[in-house]
């Protein structure tokens, strides 16, 4: 009786169990590969965990291929079948599937919500098909998907919705888009992805157009030793305008006509008083621990280290109110699940008087003051310098009385009149007079008085140290 009970409880002793024709059954594994099948054999044992149907002629996967629920099935292999149609309800009865291989078939489109019933799926192989269109909802509800292979298809548009914000496929760690028809990729958005995803983002063997953002993206990946770049650097090629032969993307540095500059990895610029965030962009997922070391050798742990440097929960280092001594190279030490990694971030702190927004204000203020001073000097020269040109002599007004002369009584440092009431011209003695600039006579001499011809031509001669000397030869200090 005991042997009978054990037989009935064993998988082979289950009621109604039998291995499908042309299949090999080993415990909960069913191998029906290369059996020349045109449809999925039925019925399938309920305890089936692995079902291999590869290398057959199953061209259509309908909703009824598994009429009964298969709660233990976690691997389904359907490669090399010429499969051209998959029903959107084909996976309703296999909700525990974790590995699905649909590679090397004839699939052309991935329809809406095609895999939405596979909430536990981890690996999806779709390479070597004829896929041209990927519906934006084809991978909905795949919260556990870690590896997605879409290589060797005909995809011309990058499915950015698979990566944006990490909400659609939060666990995705590998995305293979190699050997497709991609001509452009959003390099700036891909650079913002975490390094552990960029490490497994394969873009080789695509007819990408050459540009500097693409070069910068891959050059940084090469410097970080990302496997998707290092392992396939010869296959990462792009098409230059007017050049039929693709060239290596990493060879674009300094090459005409693009002349792309070398990429700098983790260089951050800031100004005094700013608050900045230094990211620890590790290649490892599931990091156990990490810490930072400042340029001064101070170790910043989870408790913050000091008032200006704080280690955040995501591994980033926050620096508050930057000072000149905060500049330098910061080091992030990461303890990964397999290996450790060391990252370096160079911080450049600029003085705001040289590189800050106040520079514009200071420059504008200096320019305005210079303009005002220039206008003042021009006005002084035009309106306060005496006219000594010949055309002005005939139109001058008669001089004021001798005792009211502002030139001699106010501004002159030397008395303008000799003692007595005689002729002013006769009271002066000309000795050693020499002609100076603008028709003036230098100190030590006075001009010779012209003969009088009437009251209208009578002029009072100013001393050489009077108004003309003050406003013409003396430097003006503002």
Q: What is the mean pLDDT of each run of 10 residues along the chain (478 residues)?
A: 38 59 91 94 90 96 91 96 94 95 96 92 97 89 94 91 77 94 89 83 94 88 88 93 86 78 71 82 72 79 66 82 82 72 76 51 69 85 66 51 43 43 42 44 47 46 42 44
How many of the other CB atoms lie within 10 Å of CB of 197? 19
Asked, for residue 295, whether it belongs to a domain, the answer is: yes
Asked, for residue 416, whether it belongs to a domain, the answer is: no
Asked, for residue 126, whether it belongs to a domain, the answer is: no
Q: Residue 195: its pLDDT value, please?
A: 80
Asked, for residue 316, whether it belongs to a domain, the answer is: yes
Asked, for residue 311, whether it belongs to a domain, the answer is: yes
Domain span at residue 325? 268-350
Q: Which two tokens stand for residue 314?
A: 């995501």
Asked, for residue 395, whether it belongs to a domain, the answer is: no
How many of the other CB atoms lie within 10 Å of CB of 79? 19
Q: What is the number of structural domains in the chain?
A: 1
CATH at residue 313: 2.60.40.10
Asked, for residue 275, whether it belongs to a domain, the answer is: yes
HSE-up (13 A, CA, CB side) for residue 262: 4
Burial of 122 (0-12, 13-18, 19+ CB in 10 A): middle
Q: Residue 174: its pLDDT value, please?
A: 93
**Which residues fall within 8 angstroms of residue 114, CB to CB, at 6 or more apart?**
86, 88, 135, 138
Question: Are the CB atoms for 139 and 168 separated by under 8 Å?
Answer: yes
Question: Are the CB atoms for 302 and 315 separated by under 8 Å?
Answer: no
Going by the DSSP 8-state scheme, the letter that residue 441 receives in this structure is B
DSSP run (H or E) holding 292: strand 289-293
Q: Residue 326: its pLDDT value, please?
A: 83
Give the pLDDT confidence of 133-187 residue by residue, as tens digits: 998 888 989 999 999 999 999 999 888 878 876 668 888 999 999 999 999 998 8
Asked, for residue 322, whether it belongs to a domain, the answer is: yes
Respond yes or no on whether the N-terminal peptide bond of residue 257 is cis (omega within 30° of 0).
Answer: yes
Q: Where are the alpha helices (DSSP H) in 319-455?
A: 352-355, 358-384, 406
Q: Residue 467: its pLDDT value, please?
A: 41
Pairwise CA distance, residues 65 & 39, whole Å = 8
267-271 and 247-248: which strand pairing?
Answer: unpaired
């Amino acid at each position: 009786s005991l042997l009978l009970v054990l037989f009935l409880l064993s998988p082979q002793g289950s009621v109604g169990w039998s291995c499908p024709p042309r299949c090999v059954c080993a415990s909960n594994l069913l191998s029906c590969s290369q059996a020349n099948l045109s449809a999925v054999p039925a019925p399938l044992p309920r305890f089936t965990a692995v079902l291999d149907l590869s290398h057959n002629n199953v061209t259509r996967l309908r909703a009824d291929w598994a009429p009964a629920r298969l709660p233990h099935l976690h691997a389904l292999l359907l490669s090399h079948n010429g499969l051209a149609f998959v029903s959107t309800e084909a996976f309703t009865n296999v909700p525990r599937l974790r590995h699905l291989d649909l590679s090397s078939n004839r699939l052309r489109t991935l329809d809406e919500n095609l895999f939405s019933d596979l909430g536990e799926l981890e690996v999806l192989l779709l390479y070597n098909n004829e896929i041209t269109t990927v519906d934006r909802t084809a991978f909905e509800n795949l919260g556990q998907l870690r590896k997605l292979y879409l290589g060797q298809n005909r995809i011309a548009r990058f499915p950015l919705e698979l990566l944006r914000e990490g909400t659609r496929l939060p666990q995705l760690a590998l995305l293979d888009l190699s050997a497709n028809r991609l001509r452009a990729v959003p390099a700036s958005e891909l650079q913002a992805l975490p390094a552990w995803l960029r490490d497994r983002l394969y873009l080789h063997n695509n007819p990408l157009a050459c540009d500097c953002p693409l070069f910068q993206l891959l050059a940084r990946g090469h410097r970080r030793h990302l496997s998707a770049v290092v392992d396939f650097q010869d296959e990462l090629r792009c098409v230059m305008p007017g050049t039929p032969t693709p060239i290596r993307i990493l060879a674009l540095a300094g090459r005409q006509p693009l002349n792309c500059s070398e990429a700098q990895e983790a260089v951050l610029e800031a100004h005094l008083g700013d608050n900045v965030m230094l990211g620890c962009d590790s290649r490892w997922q599931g990091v156990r621990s990490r810490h930072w070391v400042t340029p001064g050798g101070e170790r910043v742990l989870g408790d913050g280290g000091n008032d200006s440097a704080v280690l955040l929960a995501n591994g980033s280092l926050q620096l508050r109110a930057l000072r000149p001594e905060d500049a330098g190279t910061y080091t992030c030490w990461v303890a990964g699940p397999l290996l450790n990694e060391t990252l370096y971030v160079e911080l450049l702190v600029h003085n705001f008087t040289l590189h800050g927004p106040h520079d514009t204000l200071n420059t504008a203020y200096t320019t305005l003051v210079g303009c005002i001073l220039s206008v003042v000097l021009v006005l002084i020269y035009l309106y306060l310098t005496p006219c000594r040109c010949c055309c002005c002599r005939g139109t001058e007004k008669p001089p004021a009385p001798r005792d009211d002369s502002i030139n001699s009584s106010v501004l002159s440092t030397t008395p303008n009149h000799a003692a007595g009431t005689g002729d002013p011209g006769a009271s002066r003695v000309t000795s050693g007079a020499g002609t100076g600039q603008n028709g003036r006579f230098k100190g030590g001499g006075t001009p010779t008085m012209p003969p009088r011809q009437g009251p209208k031509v009578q002029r009072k001669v100013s001393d050489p140290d009077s108004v003309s000397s003050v406003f013409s030869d003396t430097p003006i200090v503002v």
